[in-house]
Chains A and B, each alone.
Chain A
Amino acid sequence: MALGVIYTGEPEAAIKDFVKLLMKHKDIQGAVIPVKMEREGSYAFVFTKSPEVVDKSSPIAPVMPVQGARVLSKLTKRKPLTKPAVAVLKPCEVRAARELSKINQVCMESFITVSFDCPGVYPTKSFLKNADALEEEFKKGLKGLSVSGVRPLCESCTYFTGEFADFEVQFAGINEVRIIARSQRAEAILKGLGKAEEVEERDKKAIEAVLEARKKAKEALKTEFAEKVSTPEKLLSVLSSCINCHNCRSVCPICFCRECFFDSDSLKTPPHLYLERASRKGGLRFMPDTLLFHLGRMNHMSLSCVSCGTCEDACPNMVPVSRLFALVSERTRAIFDYVPGIDDRPSPFLEYREEELEEYEMPYYEARS
């Protein structure tokens, strides 16, 4: 049993009602929530104080062009909000925001997060080509969490529930919509609103089949996709369509640095050095430093990659960049047994230990003369 509220009806309608309820609390100002844009038919986050805008919103949008954690980061970059706002986020957005808060890039105290059972999102480009039909299909598949044609990483996402938000919205595999308080702060808010009921938790079995399917897809990523990039030749052929535009980095919620090394002057060299590199390597691909950019970024942030797939969504040239990062991230995180956005420990690059990882050092035997 947990504290929560039960709604009947459609999940989206329930979330909207719940958000409007939260907005009535004296300590909450406004909401951050996805809204359908009228002109182009895509979706964007809106920060609003108006319940009418919440009425028009789409809490479970079928696409994710901007990763929500970036929105929270932008909002609180200079200062925390004077009072918290409700933020309706997909599970990977919650994880990214939690991860960013560990490195002081999001002020989590400024947000009451609400997250839900996520069926995944369509790649924005395929959605825009066929918006009306996909919108229909998405609505149909929502409650069963069975939507086909979603982002490749959504298919293999095993953290697809809202359990890491302040409020978790459950609807998959059950008849009603259960909104459950997952933090002390959330419980206090419900009590303040006089709405705290004891609610039964969903039986894990209700979503077991979805979890199994996702786990299988993850295995395929770790075997089949891994095989496609298992040598330098194969990796470079996968990166052959990369134009080194750095879009993938600009949209990544985890890449927060104001100036990125890979945009910096240290990679802009005088012409004779380009020539020197070219003669050393038999030629020089332009734009240069493509492989360096990807491998470097993996070294810098793969421990915190939440496998949201936003990078791949923004890539103009169909580079499977999010799958590359997810694949690498699975392996680098395993060194520290760390799961970004879920673990309460600091990110492994912020923590050190005297005795560990000896297997990565080279032993020395002084037998030589």
Chain B
Amino acid sequence: MADKEFTPKVFYALCAWCGSGGSETAGAYWLKYPENVRPFRVMCTGALDSAYVLRALIEGADGVAVSGCHPGDCHYNIGNFRARRRIAVMKEILNTFGIDGDRVWLRWVAHGEGKKLADTATEFTEHIKKKGPSPLKRWDT
């Protein structure tokens, strides 16, 4: 499956507080992460409806990573717990149909954890490279 030339399209959903903060810290330290990673900001990981993640996977993304505040740190108290339950459900559903729930990652990143953010972007890109293109990138969906 894995093609050497394959550059995966990766979406990286970051909450407005910790996740985005992590990317600012990464920027402040001039840390680099792969250019194919497209970060986008949501108010809270709890505001990231599963439909958006699915839509990305169906419309061309090869993987979606999600980072928000560590448990206990959510600016809306329970948004990240909400996100974790949603992502657990989504992974089960994707696995049921052999779509591979491992194309969706959840990892907490705090404001100060710039290195963790850049590492996650790199690690996830490598992980998706090994998996190859999303099986949902097809015309008949």
Chain A bound to chain B: yes
Q: Chain A residues in contact with chain B, CB under 8 A?
A: 226, 229-236, 240, 261-262, 277-278, 280-285, 289-292, 295-296, 298-300, 302-303, 327-328, 331-332, 334-336, 348-349, 352-357, 360-362, 364, 366, 368
Complex interface residues of chain B between 4 and 57 (CB less than 8 A to chain A): 49-51, 54-55
Known: A236-B141, A280-B137. A302 touches B116 (CB 8 A): no
Contact B89 A302 (CB under 8 A): yes
From known contacts A299-B86, A357-B85, infer whether A261 and B51 are also in contact, taking CB-CB under 8 Å. Answer: yes
Q: Is B130 an interface residue (CB 8 A)?
A: no
Q: Whole-angstrom distance from the CB of A295 to the nearest CB of chain B?
A: 5
With A229-B97, A235-B97, A292-B51 as contacts: A299 and B60 at CB distance below 8 Å: no
Give the docked Cα–Cα distance between A368 and B123 (Å). 10
A242 → B minimal CB distance (Å): 11
B139 touching A282, Cβ below 8 Å: yes
Contact of B98 with A230 in the complex, beta carbons under 8 Å: yes
A-B contact count (CB 8 A): 132
Which of B87, B97, B108, B120 is packed against the most chain A CB atoms within 10 Å? B97
- Which residues of A sit under 8 angstroms from B140, Cβ to Cβ? 236, 240, 285
Q: Please count how many residues in chain B sit with their CB below 8 Å of the partner chain's CB atoms.
A: 46
Chain B nearest Cβ from A45, distance in angstroms: 32
A interface majority secondary structure = helix
Beta-carbon contact of B98 and A364 below 8 Å: no
Could you list which residues of chain B lie within 8 angstroms of chain A, going by C-beta atoms? 49-51, 54-55, 58-60, 71-72, 78, 81-82, 84-99, 105-108, 115-116, 119-120, 122-123, 135-141
What chain A residues lie within 8 Å of B105 (beta carbons)? Answer: 362
**Whole-angstrom distance between the alpha carbons of A226 and B92 in the complex?**
13
Ranked nearest first, the 4 interchain pairs of A and B with the lowest CB-CB distance are: A283-B139, A352-B81, A299-B50, A291-B141
The distance in angstroms between the C-alpha atoms of A226 and B96, with both chains bound, is 8
Contacts of B72 in A (CB 8 A): 354
Contact of A352 among B82, B94, B116, B123 (CB under 8 A): B82
Contact status A299-B84, CB under 8 Å: no
Chain A residues in 8 Å Cβ range of B95: 331
- Can you list 5 residue pairs at the A/B interface with Cβ under 8 Å? A231-B97, A261-B51, A281-B138, A283-B139, A368-B122
B95, chain A: closest CB distance, angstroms: 8
User: Provided the pairs A261-B51, A360-B87 are in contact, do residues A331 and B92 lie with their beta carbons within 8 angstroms?
Assistant: yes
Task: Give min CB distance, B23 to chain A, whole Å.
Answer: 16
Interface pair B98/A232, CB less than 8 Å apart: yes
Q: Which of B81, B93, B108, B138 is the one whose CB lies under 8 Å from A282?
A: B138
Q: A360-B88, A364-B107, A368-B123 are in contact. List 18 more A-B contacts (CB 8 A).
A: A230-B97, A231-B97, A231-B98, A232-B97, A232-B99, A232-B136, A281-B138, A281-B141, A285-B140, A295-B93, A299-B86, A299-B90, A328-B96, A335-B92, A336-B85, A357-B85, A362-B106, A364-B119
